[in-house]
Amino acid sequence: MLADFGFGVLFFTFLLALYSIGAAFYGYFRQAQKWIESARLAMLLTFPLLTLASLDLIYLLVTNDFNVKFVYEVTSTDMPAYLKATALWGGQSGSLLFWSWLMSAFAAAVTLRKWERDREFLPWVVIVTSLTMAFFLSFSLFFNENPFARFWETFSGIAAYDFKPVNGLPFTPAEGNGLNPLLRHPGMVIHPPMLYLGFVSFVIPFAFAIAALVTGRTDDRWIRLTRRWTLVAWLFLSLGLVLGGRWAYDVLGWGGYWGWDPVEIAAFMPWLTGTAFLHSVVIQEKRGMLKHWNMILIILTYSLVIFGTFLTRSGVLSSVHAFAKSAIGPAFFIFIGLTFVISVALLFYRWAELKGEGQMLSMFSREALFLLNNLLFMGILVVCFWGVISPLVSELVTGQKVTVGPPYYERAAGPLFAGLVLLMGIAPLSAWGHITLKSLAGQDNFQLDKRYALGIARLLWKPAIPAVLILVALLAIGIRNPYALVGLFFVALTTSITLYEFWRAARARSRAQDENFFLALWRLAGRNRRRYGGYTIHLGVVLMAVGIIGIEMFQAETQKSLAIGESIQLSGYTVRYDSLAQFNAPDGRWVTRAVVSVFRDGKFLTELYPRYDVYSDGQPMTIPGVRSTLADDLYVLLVNWEGVTTQIAPFKVYHNPLVNWLWLGSIVFILGTLIAAWPDRDPEYVPARARSKKKVTYQPGVAD
């Protein structure tokens, strides 16, 4: 009964999404405001309906209704209730429903804003968001991805399972398969929702961009309307990537946080274009430039969001993150192609009207450095995109999949990342280019470049001193790896410049306003959250870079089978095998847990407990024992356990220098994004008393 109800709600929501598309089209072309309002209300109604369907499925999951195929696939009676509920996104069909529900939430939120100034955008925002939602709902209805399907039902003439009715009655299994053990980590409880939130919320800026192209609004109004949406999308996507890295570090048992897995990269690519977009829109707002480029970036971001979802769910690439092979791949491919072609066609249609209002006068101006920043991001995107699709291209051409591994990505993208770190430091010291009396009198570009470069150099020399001292210290302690030295010097320089910018601005305000230095810094950041939130993000990035350089350049590992009492040495640490125990856990796991003692310079530090767990379905999982400090991690694994004897056990040990700076930097990074995205008082807000005295009018198509 509940399964039928849930399916009925999905079907009605799909029809409602189609209605909102049709009503918005009709209302726009007929100039019928009532139809547009009807479309808006229809899109608003999709959220409570999909909330009802999602709660229905969660109830079926929590109550172990195993005659529902999806419940059987992802839950079992020994799972705790919170894991059963979060199993909603632990399988293909449930995750598609979850994606649709999040899309409806953002669609509903955007319909509730005040549309008086931007009424012409509304129908096209409704059309784009409803079309995206209807596309994902169609999988649940027409592509064998119905999360409410039962065992005895067939789809497209193909039986879902071999379970058949018994004596004409439905057959219900006594037990489910249970959630994949890799998904039972707290990071995986949070990681997919964060990625989905990032993916879904990028649909909103794209919808406004398409609305701007269709209506001919060539000003930056659509960017101002979507600035916070973009920041929120970027925040969630960043959180998802960081949590995924932490999950990999804790659960996958290979001593790392990032393996350049195809699905990891599929989530990383829209982050790259989204980050480039966040930087380049500043140029359009400040200088009226790069209008074409910003449209291209948001179109690419939306297409990459759908492409990433396609890679995860189509089964075309093998990945620990991907779902099973599915028939929905061609539909994704067609949708990506159609939306991309239509978007680009609209862009070319409005190309002449998107001409920039300013021009780039110097290669050292802030807009030029921001553009270089964008080009570096695009370079990394090209590296990642080719690495992901190369197996598909090679299979198409030669009949064999030829994959590229981490060395390809690291060698190709590493120098580009280093360039980005350096630019983060230099760009804030530059000035926005503008037409001056000298330039009007005939000052050539070389003179302008020289003036800008000298200005940067005058500001650069003071913060460069600490960076040079750090480089000397690194050489003094024996670091000779040239890549590590260059990377750490760039990190030190960018950190020093960023802190110098905080200090310089706060000192100026403190003197001007006669305020305490820290109060001046607080008020300064409060008045310009976007700028100082961005600086905080940069500090987070350089801290993360320290961790990445540490583990990538200086990681050491060793492996050895030890008898009880024997030891293994690595990077000054001694790991002694003390004992081993085997037992059944309450959730049915068979646990093999070793006890090892860790020493350094003969001094006892701690005990670690690496484990090798085997779940009831026979799937093993390796859980490391980790000793963490800001300086390093000692990461101990019990590997390839065959249970022959408890006297000898195989261990693998990693020494990961500085890796915890990656997680510390992630926290600072997220804090900076929250500062930048924190809502100010609406600059367009007019108190009721003032509105009664002054009528505000707006002419469509006129720049603000």
| Residue 645: pLDDT band with limits 50, 70, 90 | low
Three-state SS annotation for 514-558: CCCHHHHHHHHHHHCHHHHHHHHHHHHHHHHHHHHHHHHHHCEEE
Please give the average per-residue pLDDT across 425-440, as a whole number. 64
* Predicted pLDDT at 203: 95
More confident residue, 382 or 219: 382
More confident residue, 338 or 457: 338
**Residues near 95 by beta carbon (within 8 Å), at least 6 away in sequence:** 88, 89, 192, 196, 313, 323
d(CA 147, CA 683): 44
Residue 222 predicted with pLDDT over 80: yes
More confident residue, 588 or 22: 22
| Residue 273: pLDDT band with limits 50, 70, 90 | very high
Residue 441 predicted with pLDDT over 80: no
Structural contact between residues 425 and 497, judged by C-beta atoms closer than 8 angstroms: yes
Please give the average per-residue pLDDT across 267-282, as a whole number. 93
pTM value is 0.87
* Predicted pLDDT at 516: 86
* Predicted pLDDT at 622: 87
Structural contact between residues 321 and 309, judged by C-beta atoms closer than 8 angstroms: no
Residues 66-88 pLDDT 10s: 888 899 888 888 888 888 898 88
| Per-residue tokens: 181 | 């053990």
* Predicted pLDDT at 456: 74
| Per-residue tokens: 202 | 């990028």
Residue 315 predicted with pLDDT over 70: no
Q: Over pLDDT 90: what percentage of the chain?
A: 48
User: What is the DSSP secondary structure assignment for residue 96, as one 8-state letter?
Assistant: H
Amino acid (one-letter) located at 168 = G
Helices 291-314/329-349 angle, 10° precision: 170
Residue in 328, 507, 308 with CA at minimum distance from that of residue 388: 308
Residue 50 predicted with pLDDT over 90: yes
Residue in 98, 67, 58, 65 with CA at minimum distance from that of residue 160: 67
Residues 572-621 pLDDT 10s: 999 999 999 888 887 778 889 999 999 998 899 999 999 988 887 777 88
* Predicted pLDDT at 432: 73
The kind and range of the H/E element at 565 are none
Residues 390-428 pLDDT 10s: 887 887 788 777 788 889 999 999 999 999 999 998 888
The kind and range of the H/E element at 117 are none
| Residue 670: pLDDT band with limits 50, 70, 90 | very high
Residue 257 predicted with pLDDT over 90: no
